[in-house]
């Protein structure tokens, strides 16, 4: 079973890749910030890749960047938005939720691997 931080990193990477691809193709509502949109998408890609091996605190910037990109996408896409924009909004929203959950995630320690459950010899 996949762990929550791993899933959050993967979803963040996919959302960053979708944002970067759609913004470079001009198929997204992220046009208000000009070149800042693709830069934030590249930062989301880098941050989600670093969360695999880095500290859990890297999930908070991932959530913030996703929220900023999602807010700009929501403001920029009108009623005639393409299906890809709705998928991007969904991916960014899921990324925000999973990143916050992964930053606060503490794995449970099973009874047999608990450090206080030492073997008794004698």
> How confident is the model at residue 46, as a pLDDT?
93
Print the domain residue range for 44: 4-103
> How confident is the model at residue 109, as a pLDDT?
65
What angle, rounded to 10 degrees, do the helices at 4-25 and 83-103 form? 150
> How confident is the model at residue 3, as a pLDDT?
85
Q: pLDDT under 70 in the chain at which residues?
A: 1-2, 27-33, 77-80, 109-122
Question: Does the residue 120 lie in any domain?
Answer: no
> How confident is the model at residue 43, as a pLDDT?
93
Contact 70, 96 (CB under 8 A): yes
Question: Does the residue 10 lie in any domain?
Answer: yes
Question: Does the residue 114 lie in any domain?
Answer: no
> How confident is the model at residue 4, as a pLDDT?
87
| Cα gap 8→52, rounded to integer Å | 9
Q: State both tokens at 100.
A: 């916050």
Q: How many domains does the chain have?
A: 1
């Amino acid at each position: 079973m996949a762990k929550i931080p791993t899933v959050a990193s993967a979803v963040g990477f996919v959302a960053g890749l979708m944002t970067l691809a759609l913004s470079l193709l001009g198929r997204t509502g992220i046009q208000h910030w000009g070149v800042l949109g693709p830069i934030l998408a590249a930062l989301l890609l880098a941050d989600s890749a670093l969360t695999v091996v880095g500290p859990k605190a890297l999930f908070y910037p991932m959530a913030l960047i996703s929220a900023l990109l999602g807010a700009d996408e929501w403001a920029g896409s009108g009623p005639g938005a393409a299906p890809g924009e709705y998928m991007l909004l969904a991916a960014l929203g899921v990324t925000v939720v999973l990143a916050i959950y992964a930053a606060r995630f503490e794995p449970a320690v099973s009874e047999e691997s608990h450090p206080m459950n030492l073997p008794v010899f004698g």
